[in-house]
Amino acid sequence: MKPPPRDDANQVIPHDHPDINNEHEVIRRISSEQVVEKKGKNVISSIAYKASTGKNGGMSVDLKQLIEIDGVDPKIWVTTPRWIGSVIFKVSDLREMNFMVGYDPILAPNPNEYHGEVWGDFKKSNQKKLKSLAIWFVPINNVDLV
């Protein structure tokens, strides 16, 4: 994977990475901290489908194909070192929504060489669409997607 573009402070700049194909998939980890009760069911809060509030913030994901190229089981990767649920998206679906899908490896404090970001407009209608597109990758018990 080609290195991502960076600014003067060595921070990754939002980009649409050319080596991330539309056929690829990205995994979004979901913590039980972001599960709410809605109409008698447990569901994932909309905040899980929002960008981070920091500078150049995007929605963190793991790049599934990159994990597999290294011979690592993606389901084990996204549940180590702790058990966390996760959902999966097709890159093509994200790009159709005008999101950029980029590569943003993390060195510290929690290293993740398969880390990617989704950047774009996380307005309400897009959050709802993301919710409808998400498919469980590692389900959380008794939690529905919608």
Partner 1 sequence: MLGETTTAFSDQEIQSYSTVSYLPENRERILINEPGHNWWPDIEERLKHLINLDNGWDGYNAEPVSFLNASFALRVLETICTINTPAPQIVPGTGGDLQIEWHTDTTEIELHVIAPYRVEAWICSPETGTDGKELILTNNFIEVVRALSKMMEHLIDEAAAA
Size of the site for partner 1 (CB under 8 A): 30
**Contact status: 124 vs partner 1 (CB under 8 A):** yes
Determine contact, residues 88/27, Cβ cutoff 8 Å. Answer: yes
Tell me, residue by residue from 80 to 119, as one string, x for binding to partner 1 by CB under 8 A and - for no binding: --x-x-x-------------------x--xx-x--x----
Determine contact, residues 18/95, Cβ cutoff 8 Å. Answer: no
| 3-class SS of residue 35 | strand
- Of 5-13, 15-23, 34-42, 66-74, the window that binds partner 1 (rule: CB under 8 A) is 34-42
- Output the six-digit token pair for 34: 């972001």
- Residues 126, 131, 134, 140: is their CA dihedral positive or negative? positive
CB atoms within 10 A of CB 22: 12
| 3-class SS of residue 43 | strand
**Contact status: 2 vs partner 1 (CB under 8 A):** no
**Contact status: 132 vs partner 1 (CB under 8 A):** no
CB atoms within 10 A of CB 53: 6
- Output the six-digit token pair for 98: 């005008």
**Contact status: 78 vs partner 1 (CB under 8 A):** yes
**Contact status: 37 vs partner 1 (CB under 8 A):** yes
Task: Report the residue number, 20 or 59, with the smaller CB distance to partner 1.
Answer: 59
Q: Measured from the CB of residue 10, what is the shortest distance to partner 1 in angstroms?
A: 16
- The footprint of partner 1 (CB under 8 A) covers 29, 31, 33-39, 45-47, 50, 52-54, 57, 60, 78, 82, 84, 86, 106, 109-110, 112, 115, 123-125
